[in-house]
Structure 1
Amino acid sequence: MVTSGEIIMRLSQGDKSVFNIVFDQYYEMLYHLSYQYLCNEAEVKEIVQDSFTKLWEVRSDLAPNSNIRNFLFTITKNNCLNVLKRRQFLIKEHEKIKWMEMHYAYESLSRMGSDYMEFEELKERVERAIQRLPEHCQKVFLMSRFEDKKNKEIADELNISIKTVEAHLTKALKLLRSDLKDLLPTIAVITTLLS
């Protein structure tokens, strides 16, 4: 087994086999982190690729005690923030609810530390909050956020009005914000979890 110090040393020397080990070890974690916020495979792949590219570019500047996982996590997080900021700007005038969710996603991610364990704890907390939602709110919310269904599709499938779908979504967001108020603005995480 290669130690982290040895990985740093070999990376700094340009050892591509060690870089491949790092890539294999962290790619999936970074992919899921990005996908949970962006829900766009093409953007996610580009962001993760960029994180590894940056690692390779700065390999000779890494301190011997560098934490590669946290380095990659931070690069990926910052790249996600940039995408969310661009999206937030583009849709602000068109879809107020989507803009609010994007804003919460941006705020949540920007306040998150650089430790992946903190992210996992947050994810579990949000999953529990979703499970506490009233049955109809939870169902509509999950269909909207995890199945990526439009309000009309949800209304047709559940045989309810679009206004009822919107009311359930509004109520779910309000309850989740209240339940997670000490973590505000972490409401964004709920648009992604359960990977």
Structure 2
Amino acid sequence: MLASSFGRYASLSDADLLAALCADDEGSFAEIYQRYCYRLFELAYRKLKSREIAEELVQDLFENLWNRRASQQIDKLEQYLFSALRYRIINYIKGQQVRAGYELYCRLASSEADTATEEALAHNELSAALLASIRKLPDKTREIFQLSRLEQYSVAEISGRVNLSEKTVEYHLTKSLKLLRNYLRDFLVLVVVTLWHF
């Protein structure tokens, strides 16, 4: 009985699986997971070179697919899954870059560097630029950025805290990273030089 049930799902098209998923059919979700999980993991691992992070991003993707099964409009399942994963990979990489810059800022702010040296002046300029850049963000965008990138809350957790949809939270995160990149463009070379010394 169980084997025939699995066989039935395996023979369904992606469109049929999506229709069953929207009707809360757990078997269709299991088949979608089995059909795409490994290929998605391979993509994430190839880009990030970390098994743990790759697994985490793929699991998050499938968790999101299940939780939003009734509200999402998906035309082509395979294209949707791979696009959604690429978005998560890009967002993760951007987040790591911003977090590294913020950690550098914290180290600089807590150290008593000799301001007379050229290196210390560069550190002070970088920390001031990063702090000023974060302060330039619009209030809601800054709040969501700090919750996500500095306090490590998930999109779902932030959504509940600030009473906004997950899509709106993701919009603010993308906006904050784009704005910070623009604000800090002049300091990118300085960041590389400073990180080299650490």
Normalised by the size of structure 1, how large is the TM-score? 0.43
Greater relative contact order (Cα < 8 A, sep 6+):
1
Greater Rg, structure 1 or structure 2?
Answer: 2
Normalised by the size of structure 2, how large is the TM-score? 0.43
